[in-house]
Amino acid sequence: MAYNVQPPDELMVQRFLPALRLLVARALLEQGQSQAKVSRALGVTQASVSHYSVSSPDRAYASLESLSVSREDADRFVALLGEDLRRDPSYAVETLTNIWTGLLGRGAVCPAHRALYPSLAGCDVCMRQFGKESEGRYEAITGVADAVRLLESSPSFASVMPEVSVNVAYLAGDSDSPEDVVAVPGRIVRVKNSARAMQPPAFGASRHLAGVLLLVRKRRQGVRAVINLRYDARMVSVLSQLGLRVLEIGAYSAGGEGDPTIEALRRRLVSFKAAFDAVADPGSRGIEPSLYLLGKSAVDAARLAIRVSALYSAS
């Protein structure tokens, strides 16, 4: 009997990536970005973006649904990728990869793959390869998982979740590499009035939060965890009531190379010498304001975030 060796990557290329490109392009165009800018962001021709703009999204949603991605999840993925593209295109690559490997690890792609190749009926390679970090074998991953459960069970936490969604990151050991920072691939999103993690925690799952955490640790070695929340006038009042010390990074432009928040924080740390418990990012064009709460562990950061949310929702 002849067998074809066909990995699931072809489904990524043929169904997953084209569908998300179309939906992200349409979302960016609806936000007022030009076709030229969208084409540069997505790495496709302007003619392709023009085609996306007049195409129905229904086929894209159907393609994703064939890979066990609901419309609700697809819209979340689009929002996350759009925000990443505004910050740094490499973040979008990271998020896209995390989303795809998460689908593989959960076996979500298996039905479509086996429908194409019935000889793979007994295959579980992807679940073994990409699902291994969800088994709780690492203390750091377990700590972040515990923090996520606290956030998911909180009745008030959703009130402080920003539009870009939430993540909680924890540094394992004394490394200065983003790959040693544990976070939630795909982030923690709002489902009705509750927080829900998209996937189990994994190493190297958030380049942005890892960058904030590693930079903060140059000044505060005791900090090992960070969580991002919404930042507005009500949050400023809550932080004051709790006596939390805040480092505000100041205004910046979203243009240029690298993550603009990280670069603004780097510049601010040069002159800021006082102790701080949180970092406030006022945001910029296309970048939502954010608060980064710091902690000694992921659970400590989550508990502090829940205290903040309880006071925020009551005010």
pLDDT tens digits for 256-306? Answer: 678 899 999 999 999 898 999 999 999 888 889 999 999 999 999 999 999
Distance between CA atoms of 139 and 272, rounded to whole angstroms? 33
- State the architecture of 137-314 in CATH terms: 3-Layer(aba) Sandwich (3.40)
C-alpha neighbours within 13 Å on the C-beta side of residue 19? 24
Whether the pLDDT of residue 310 is over 90: the answer is yes
Q: Name residues whose C-beta falls within 8 Å of residue 243's C-beta, 6 or more positions apart in sequence.
A: none
Structure tokens at 237: 């009042």
* pLDDT of the residue at 307: 97
Which of 47-61, 90-104, 236-250 is predicted with the least confidence, judged by mean pLDDT?
90-104
**Average pLDDT, stretch 98-106?**
86
Distance between CA atoms of 29 and 259, rounded to whole angstroms? 22
Give the model's confidence band at 67: pLDDT under 50 very low, under 70 low, under 90 confident, else very high.
very high
Note the pTM of the prediction, 2 decimals. Answer: 0.67
128: number of Cβ within 10 Å? 10
Which of 8-12, 14-18, 90-94, 307-311 is predicted with the least confidence, judged by mean pLDDT?
90-94
Whether the pLDDT of residue 235 is over 70: the answer is yes
Give the model's confidence band at 132: pLDDT under 50 very low, under 70 low, under 90 confident, else very high.
low
- All CATH 3.40.225.10 domain ranges in the chain, comma separated: 137-314
Residue 26 burial class via C-beta count within 10 angstroms: exposed 0-12, middle 13-18, buried 19 and up: buried
Whether the pLDDT of residue 155 is over 50: the answer is yes
| Average of per-residue pLDDT values in the chain | 89
Residue pair 217/223 in contact by the 8 Å Cβ criterion: yes
Residue 2 burial class via C-beta count within 10 angstroms: exposed 0-12, middle 13-18, buried 19 and up: exposed
Residue 251 burial class via C-beta count within 10 angstroms: exposed 0-12, middle 13-18, buried 19 and up: exposed
Residue pair 196/181 in contact by the 8 Å Cβ criterion: no
**Average pLDDT, stretch 202-215?**
92
